[in-house]
Amino acid sequence: MIIIGEKINSTLKAVRPAIAKRDADAIQSLAKRQADAGAAFIDVNAGMFHDAEPETIAWLVETVQAATDKPFSVDSPNPAAIAAALAVNKNGAPIINSITDEKARYNAILPLALEYNAKVIALCMDDTGMPENADGRFTIAARLIDKLTKAGIALPDIFIDPLVRPVSTGSHYGKAAIDTIRRVKAEYPDVHIACGLSNVSFGLPARKLINQTFLVAAMAAGMDGAILDPLDTKLTSLIWASEALLGLDEYCLEYLDKYREGLIEV
């Protein structure tokens, strides 16, 4: 499972003031703790800073890179902010989070991915909006994969985001995401998935339970990447257990390793 740690996000009430104050210690602690918990990428989002988003996100990237070797995922629809983050990259290949099949956004962001050799999260949406069901989402995913590979982006550098919307706002949204994952992985086994897992539980009590249950169902359908909270040790325990149960962890070595490190919570 490719874990993209979601905690360095300006929409989080506890994190936004730390970014505003340029509190490097607080940001670096979040980066380190997420990396230690298993995050392969550290998502950074400065969207709440509006006009100052490019300079703020560049500061976040530099601050995170002083604390960890993990590459970042730049979480923004804004080409200027994405460019500012990519320009200060020093770690491995980062992820652009995200591109869509909206004409203007696609055309602005694709050149940045090519220039900086970045991976991309591709959302299943286009100028007609976000399809309600898996059929419509898969059609867009297939079109994006076709266009991105023809432009020179390798299949494993593409992460399809099936769109995780709150089940509290539509009872079909959990299934729509899971069916999209299953179809994308069946047709394109080399492409990765990146779900915004925590979205599924907005508006419900005991959100962690909903996130944890969705995680297991989505992994059974082939989800191999997600933007999630790696500091939720119950959630990460479910990742290691699911990998062992789904044939993704030979001899359960990873699971045993995590257990020995004290990282398995029952």
Start-end of H helices in the chain: 16-20, 24-36, 53-65, 79-87, 103-116, 134-150, 173-187, 207-220, 233-245, 253-260
To the nearest whole angstrom, how small is the minimum distance from the Cβ of residue 224 to ligand THG? 15
What's the token pair of residue 161?
């985001």
Task: List the structure tokens of 209.
Answer: 């339970």
State the nearest-atom distance from the C-beta of 9 to ligand THG, in Å. 5
Q: How far is the CB of 67 from ligand THG (least distance, A)?
A: 19
The site map against ligand THG for 81-100 (x = CB under 6 A) is: ----------------xx--
Stretch that binds ligand THG, among 10-18, 54-62, 101-109, 143-151 (CB under 6 A): 10-18
| Closest residue by beta carbon to ligand THG | 196
Kindly tell me which residue out of 28, 91, 149, 199 binds ligand THG, with binding defined by CB under 6 A: 199
Out of 191, 227, 239, 244, name the contact with ligand THG by CB under 6 A: 227
Q: Is 9 in the site for ligand THG (CB under 6 A)?
A: yes
- CA–chain centroid gap for 217, Å, is 17
Letter for the amino acid at 80?
A
Site string for ligand THG, 42-81 (x = CB under 6 A): ---------------------------------x------
Nearest residue (CB) to ligand THG, 97 versus 249: 97
- What distance in Å separates the CA atoms of residue 47 and residue 51, rounded to the nearest whole number? 9
Strands 2-9 and 158-161: unpaired
- Residue in 100, 105, 109 with CA at minimum distance from that of residue 130: 100
Buried b (16+ CB within 10 A) or exposed e, 227-263: bbbbbbeebbbbbbbbbbeeeebeeeebbeebeeeeb
Q: Which span sits near ligand THG by CB under 6 A: 9-17, 59-67, 128-136, 252-260? A: 9-17
User: Does 161 participate in binding ligand THG (rule CB under 6 A)?
Assistant: yes
Which tokens sit at 38?
């298993």
Query: How many residues touch ligand THG (CB under 6 A)?
Result: 16
Q: Which of 14, 169, 260, 261 binds ligand THG (CB under 6 A)?
A: 14
CA 62, distance to chain mean position in Å, is 20
Q: List contacts with ligand THG (CB under 6 A).
A: 6, 9, 12-14, 75, 97-98, 121, 161, 164, 194, 196, 198-199, 227
